[in-house]
Amino acid sequence: MEPIFNAEAARRQAHIWDKSVRGFRQDHNFAFSLGISRGIWQFHKFGDWRNQDRPSKAYYSKFQYSFHLQIYRGFGYVLGSSAGYMQEIKVADDINPASGTCYPSVLVGLTLNISPAHRVVAGVEYYLQRWNALSKRDADLTPSADPTADINRDATISATASVFDWQIDWDYFYHLYWAVRVEAHLRHSYYIKPRKADDFPDVDSRIGKQENWYGLGIVHHLL
């Protein structure tokens, strides 16, 4: 007599890593990724600029730690943090864009383990980012006998921005512990104006940035 088909046993034999992963890749994950972004600088108020946009292009590097916890079967949630660096590329003649550090973040999200080798993570991250020496130049500026006149018509600022980063990652585990990551991000950044900024024209600015960035990385899952 042939044995009765056991669907659960067949599922567990479907992948050689299933006994180690048990349907969900839990606990500690470390990831490093590199990416490129394109977007728009939004200068609502900056020096003598009002409601002007400029293109943005930048390269990113990021290190992320995340802790994965199971809710049901392959579905769970993610808590973590990341930090990185942004190198902005100049793409407009009248702006010197700001490059700077992305400070440690707070990450929350959801994850779906499709199989022991495939995982999708979707989440949102909040962090502060330093903009170093963001400056504009008036294209029509002509030399003046008074050197301070030219300076006052331009604007330069080093500032801290508040960043919201919506992201989705796909991890392919080619090894029990190691995966290749493909990720996509939608980022919104806003300049945080300090109190009592009215006495300083450059500081009293309203600047934002919207961008999409895409990256490739590597993930280590610490079983």
More reliable by pLDDT, 126 or 1: 126
Name the average pLDDT for the chain: 87
pLDDT in tens, 172-206: 999 999 999 999 999 999 987 776 655 566 677 88
Task: Please write the tens of the pLDDT for every residue from 64-84.
Answer: 999 999 999 999 999 999 999
The single residue listed with the structure tokens 């950044």 is 189
Predicted confidence at residue 145, as pLDDT, reads: 45
The tens digit of pLDDT for each residue in 105-126 reads 999 999 999 999 999 999 999 9
Express each pLDDT in 201-221 by its tens digit. 667 788 999 999 999 999 999
C-beta separation of 81 from 64 below 8 A: yes
Residue 149 above 60 pLDDT?
no
Q: Which residue, 80, 73, 85, is CA-closest to 22?
A: 73
Query: 184: buried, middle or exposed (CB in 10 Å: 19+, 13-18, 0-12)?
Result: middle
Position 14 scores a pLDDT of 63
Strands (E), the chain: 27-46, 49-72, 75-89, 95-96, 100-102, 106-115, 118-136, 155-173, 178-191, 206-222
Dihedral in degrees, nearest 10, Cα atoms 62, 65, 71, 76 = 20
Nearest in space to 161 (alpha carbons), one of 125, 200, 132, 204: 132
What is the percent of the chain where pLDDT is above 70? 83
pLDDT band at 26 (very low <50, low <70, confident <90, very high): very high
Predicted local confidence at residue 5, as pLDDT? 58
pTM higher than 0.85, yes or no? no
Largest CA-CA distance found in the chain, in angstroms, rounded = 103
Architecture, CATH, for domain 26-222: Beta Barrel (2.40)
Instruction: Answer yes or no: is pLDDT of 141 > 60.
Output: no
